[in-house]
Amino acid sequence: MLAREVRRRFDVRGCFFLEPRQALVRRLSEPVAGMDPITQNGAYSLSSFYIQLELASRGSEGGLGTAEELEAAPMYATLGKQLRLVAALSQGDFEGTRRAREERELLSLQSTFTDQHRETSVRWEAVAIYRAADLLGLKQLIQAQTARAARFPGAQPLLHMLRAQYLLLAAEPERSLAEVHAGRALAPPLTHACGRELARVETQARLALDRVAKPVRVRIALKRSFEACSSTRATRTD
Amino acid sequence: MQLDPRYEDRLIAAQARALAAAGSIAAAKARLEATIRDFEAVGPNGVPIAALYETVAEIALLETDTSTFQRALEEVKRIYSRGKHPGLVARYERLVATGRRQLSQWSGSGLVRNDVHERMLTVTQVRSGIGPARSDEQFRQLLGIVLDEAAAASGYLYQLSSVTRCGSSHSAEPRRSIQRSS
C-alpha cells in the first residue's frame, strides 16, 4: 500500500526517487500493520540498496552499513557487493574496486535472485566507472550489455549510453555523439532512465568537438543539450 | 537555467567549461564555486567533487590564475591519488602536464614568476616518486586495453626509453628477437 502511494504520487518515469525512498525506508524500519515480515524485509533491503547506490555514486562514504546488512542476507549479498563496487569507484579506490568486482562475480554465480536489480544498477555503475575514466571497466560492461540488449530491446538505450561513454573517454567525440543520437532515437527525453546521462555525454562530446570553434557555436550546442535534459523541473532525471 | 547541484555536477562542470570557452570566465567560476559549496555542505568527499575541482583548475589556466590552479590541483591530487586508481591518476597527470605546459609559456612571457613554475615541477616529482607499484598497475591496465582492442590473447609492453619490460599478460618470456628489436 505504501509503495502504491509512493508510485501514485510520483507516477512519472525518470523522477528522482531518493527522498521518497528515504521516507519509505524510515516507515519500513518499523513493523507495518498488515504487511508480512518477508515482504517488508525485501522492500526495506531493496529500497536501502537504491538509496545508498545513489548516494555512493555522488561520493558519499556512508553506505557501508547498508552493504553489510545486504551481505548478511544470502539473497541480497550480490547487491551488497555491487554497492561496495560503486562506492569504491566513487572514492577512486582501485584495490577496493577490484575486490568488490571479484566478490560480486563469485556471488552472482551462487544466486540469481537479485539479477534484475543488479542489471538495473548497471546505470549507476557505468556513471561511476566513467567518472573514474576506467576504459577497461566500461568495455566489460559493454560486452555484458551487448548480449543483454540482443535479448531485451528495452536494454538498447543503456547499451548506446555505455558505448557513448566509452567513445568519449577514448577521445572519439564524433562517434560518441552518433551513439547518443542512436540512444535518443530509442528513448526520447523523459521516457528512459538513461536520458540524463545521454544528455551529459552529448554535452561533453559537443564541447570536445567545439573546443576550437567559435564561442557562439558552443553556446548554441550547449543550449540545445541543456534544454533537452532540463526541460522540466530539476529533480527529473531527464 | 537552474540545475540541481546535488544531481547535475557533471552537467554543471560541462556548463562551466562552455561558459569559459565562450569567454564568460567569471560566470563559470561563480557557478563552480556555488556548486562546490553545495557539495561540501552535504559532505561527500569523492571523485565527483574532485572532478569539479579539476574543472576549476582548467578554467584557472585560461586566465593565468596560478594560485587558484595550485589550490584546485592539490584538491584533485588529494582525491585522485589516494586510491591509486589508474584512470584517475592518469587524469591527474594530464592536468599536471597541461599546467606545466601552460606555466612554461607564461614563464617565458613573464606572466608568472619562475618560483611558481618550480613549485609546479616539484608537485610532479613528488607524484613520480610515489613508487613503482602504481606504475605497474597503470601498465597492466594499459596493456589490457591494447590487448582487448587488438583481440589478442597475450602481449608485452615495453618502455622504450629504458628498454625495460613494463607489463606482460602472462609469465612466459618473449622471443629473443623481439627483445632485441625493442
- Quick: pLDDT tens for A121-140: 888 899 899 988 888 889 98
Q: Cβ(A237)–Cβ(A14) under 8 Å?
A: yes
Nearest to B7 among A16, A132, A204 (CB): A16
User: Do A219 and A126 sit in the same domain of this protein?
Assistant: no
pLDDT per position as a tens digit, B98-115? 888 887 776 665 545 445
Q: How far is B147 from chain A (nearest CA, A)?
A: 11
User: Do A169 and A226 sit in the same domain of this protein?
Assistant: yes
Identify the closest residue of chain A to B134 by CA–CA distance.
A94
Among A110, A132, A154, give the residue marking a domain's end. A132
Task: Please state, in angstroms and rounded to a whole number, the distance separating the CA atoms of residues A230 and A207.
Answer: 18
Q: How far is B55 from chain A (nearest CA, A)?
A: 12
Among A104, A132, A160, give the residue marking a domain's end. A132
Number of domains in chain A: 2
User: Do A124 and A138 sit in the same domain of this protein?
Assistant: no
Q: Residues of B with CB below 8 A from A199's CB?
A: 11
Residue A214: name the closest of B61, B31, B18 by CA: B18
Percent of chain A exceeding pLDDT 90 equals 32
φ, ψ for residue B4, nearest 5 deg: -75, 115
A18 vs B69, residue with greater confidence: B69
User: Do A91 and A206 sit in the same domain of this protein?
Assistant: no
User: Do A159 and A185 sit in the same domain of this protein?
Assistant: yes
- Across the interface, whether the CB atoms of B11 and A93 are under 8 A apart is answered no
**pLDDT the model gives residue B75:** 93
Range of the domain at A1: 1-132
Nearest to A136 among B45, B83, B144 (CB): B144
Count of alpha carbons within 13 Å of A217, Cβ hemisphere only? 9
Residue B166 has pLDDT above 70, yes or no: no
Amino acid letter, B116: V
User: Do A126 and A142 sit in the same domain of this protein?
Assistant: no
Where residue A54 falls among pLDDT bands split at 50, 70, 90? confident
User: Do A124 and A151 sit in the same domain of this protein?
Assistant: no
Beta strands in chain A (DSSP E): none
Is B83 at the interface with chain A, CB within 8 A? yes
User: Do A82 and A42 sit in the same domain of this protein?
Assistant: yes
Amino acid letter, B172: A
User: Do A96 and A171 sit in the same domain of this protein?
Assistant: no
Is B94 at the interface with chain A, CB within 8 A? no
Question: pTM of this prediction?
Answer: 0.70
The predicted complex's ipTM stands at 0.73
User: Do A122 and A5 sit in the same domain of this protein?
Assistant: yes
User: Do A228 and A190 sit in the same domain of this protein?
Assistant: yes
Where residue B19 falls among pLDDT bands split at 50, 70, 90? confident
User: Do A183 and A231 sit in the same domain of this protein?
Assistant: yes
Residue B148: name the closest of B138, B137, B140 by CA: B140
Among A71, A106, A132, give the residue marking a domain's end. A132
